[in-house]
Amino acid sequence: MQNICLLGATGSIGSSTLDLISQHPDRFRLISAAANESVERMVEICHEFQPERIVMGSEKARDAVAQACPNLSIQFDYDTTAMTEIASESNVDQVVAAIVGFAGLTSTLAAIRAGKRVLLANKESLVTAGKLFMDEVAKHDVTLMPIDSEHNAIYQCLPQNESGAIKRSVDKILLTASGGPFRSFSNEQMLSVTPEQACKHPNWSMGRKISVDSASMMNKGLELIEACWLFDVEPDDIEVVIHPQSIIHSMVSYDDGSVIAQMGNPDMKVPIAYGMTWPERITTQVEPLDLFEIAQLDFSKPDLEKFPNLRLAADAWYIGGTAMASLNAANEVAVDAFLNKRIGFLDIAKINTEVLEQTAVFPVTDLEAVFGADKTARQKANDVINSKAFL
């Protein structure tokens, strides 16, 4: 029996994780869960799974959940300190890190330092503080399992049993991308796209922020940075491949000419289940892939002129230090402004460019450096938006 701490319980990753726990009650138990303000959904989780402890993002949300669960023996808490506590408690075996954005950084690091098996869906942790995280993973000998579909696919396709095998035998990592809903749009068409259009991903069910990131290809840029830290490579070792069907989740090209791909219907339960049970596999109730029904798989190169966020992410990685944290922060502010209809879709990349070019870069020696860069970049991004300097 594995006790699961689920950070980000009310999002899409959280829902898939809970589905797997329900399917395999003999193997997994939800011991604790965290969410921001989704009171109604957390109340449902409390009644169905009866965890020992839940954490909400605010005192108001905490009180609302507690009042709706008067007869349940659950400890109700709130704030980031409590989230960090549940991620490192002694009765936790695995931590699913699925809090969206920069907010998941501290709790994910706490889980690593506590020696937990970490299932990582919060890509911002590695984007903003990759070296710190990977150093802590090595120091505490932690199993860090990526559960983003692409990174999980790469993990499955890479050699697992020999130190240094990646450097010696792998030619290139092929990171797939659906291309989002606007891959065939012209720049003129993208000038007038709405948040509602951007949030309609053609293949995956995701939250609004990550859906916009997918539409702008910033999500793939963040995944590029994440892959560099996870697999000890550089952006030049990774080729992004537009694959609109999202059937091949990523590939690895080897020196002997072989290409190994991981394929499957687009459902997050598959990579999550692999992370929860590796090196074993369990049933997921995901429909098996029918190649005859798929019939055709398409591939193309990304258009970096139309989707400059992908290039910006590679630039930030090579700049190093706090540049990646600054880019991530700017993007979070810009996406929020777009979702609130304060800026246009194409303005997101313009704001990200302004902030990356104008923000000082410092070495990432500790989390304080990351927090400082994040704060500065958010302020700069808001200044750029308010002054319309990107126009």
Report all structural domains of the chain as residue ranges with CATH numbers, in order of start: 2-146 (3.40.50.720), 153-267 (no CATH), 320-387 (1.10.1740.10)
Which residues are CB-contacts of 325 (< 8 A; sequence separation ≥ 6)? 127, 128, 129, 364, 370, 373, 374, 377
Phi, psi torsion values for 288, nearest 5 degrees: -60, 150
Tokens of 234: 């550089």
The strand order across the sheet containing 248-254 reads 238-242, 170-177, 248-254, 259-263
Rg of the chain on CA atoms, in Å? 20
Which residues are CB-contacts of 186 (< 8 A; sequence separation ≥ 6)? none
Using alpha carbons only, what angle is made at residue 44 by residues 38 and 45, rounded to the nearest 5 degrees?
85
Calculate the CA 201 to chain-centre distance. Answer: 16
Number of C-alpha atoms within 13 angstroms, CB side, residue 279?
A: 2
Tokens of 287: 């429909």
Query: In this model, does residue 3 exceed pLDDT 90?
Result: yes
Q: Which of 196-210, 211-225, 289-303, 333-347 has the lowest mean pLDDT?
A: 196-210
pLDDT digits (tens, 9 = 90+) for 112-124: 999 999 999 988 8
pLDDT digits (tens, 9 = 90+) for 327-356: 999 999 999 999 999 999 999 999 999 999
Q: Which of 104-108, 224-228, 255-259, 381-385 has the lowest mean pLDDT?
A: 104-108
pLDDT at 167: 66
Tokens of 308: 């400059």
pLDDT digits (tens, 9 = 90+) for 51-70: 999 999 999 999 999 999 99
What separation, in Å, do the N-terminal and C-terminal C-alpha atoms of the chain show?
56
Query: In this model, does residue 245 exceed pLDDT 70?
Result: yes
Region 279-305: mean pLDDT is 94
Beta bridge partners of 259: 253
Tokens of 306: 């139309």
Gap between the Cα atoms of 193 and 180, Å rounded: 13
Gap between the Cα atoms of 257 and 241, Å rounded: 18
Query: In this model, does residue 372 exceed pLDDT 60?
Result: yes
Band (161; pLDDT cuts 50, 70, 90): low
Gap between the Cα atoms of 328 and 335, Å rounded: 11
Gap between the Cα atoms of 203 and 211, Å rounded: 11
Tokens of 280: 């074993």
What is the DSSP-derived secondary structure letter of residue 36?
Answer: S
Q: What percent of the chain has pLDDT over 70?
A: 96
pLDDT at 125: 87
Angle between helices 323-339 and 123-140 (to 10 degrees): 140
Peptide bond into 288 cis (omega under 30): no
Region 88-95: mean pLDDT is 96
pLDDT digits (tens, 9 = 90+) for 18-28: 999 999 999 99
Place of tokens 């922060």: 329
> How far, CA to CA in Å, does 68 sit from each of 24, 64, 76, 390?
27, 6, 11, 46
Gap between the Cα atoms of 222 and 128, Å rounded: 10
Q: Parallel, antiparallel, or unpaired for β 170-177 and 248-254?
A: antiparallel
Candidates 233, 120, 96; CA nearest to 175 is 233
Using alpha carbons only, what angle is made at residue 151 by residues 146 and 153, rounded to the nearest 5 degrees?
110
pLDDT at 203: 65
Q: What percent of the chain has pLDDT over 90?
A: 85
pLDDT at 187: 87
Calculate the CA 174 to chain-centre distance. Answer: 18
Average pLDDT of the chain, as a whole number: 93
Query: In this model, does residue 33 exceed pLDDT 80?
Result: yes
pLDDT at 166: 65
Band (300; pLDDT cuts 50, 70, 90): very high
What is the DSSP-derived secondary structure letter of residue 181?
Answer: T
Band (200; pLDDT cuts 50, 70, 90): confident
pLDDT at 164: 52
Query: In this model, does residue 31 exceed pLDDT 60?
Result: yes
pLDDT digits (tens, 9 = 90+) for 250-263: 999 999 999 999 99
Tokens of 15: 């829902």
pLDDT at 73: 95
Gap between the Cα atoms of 299 and 305, Å rounded: 18
Angle between helices 105-113 and 367-387 (to 10 degrees): 170
Region 97-113: mean pLDDT is 88
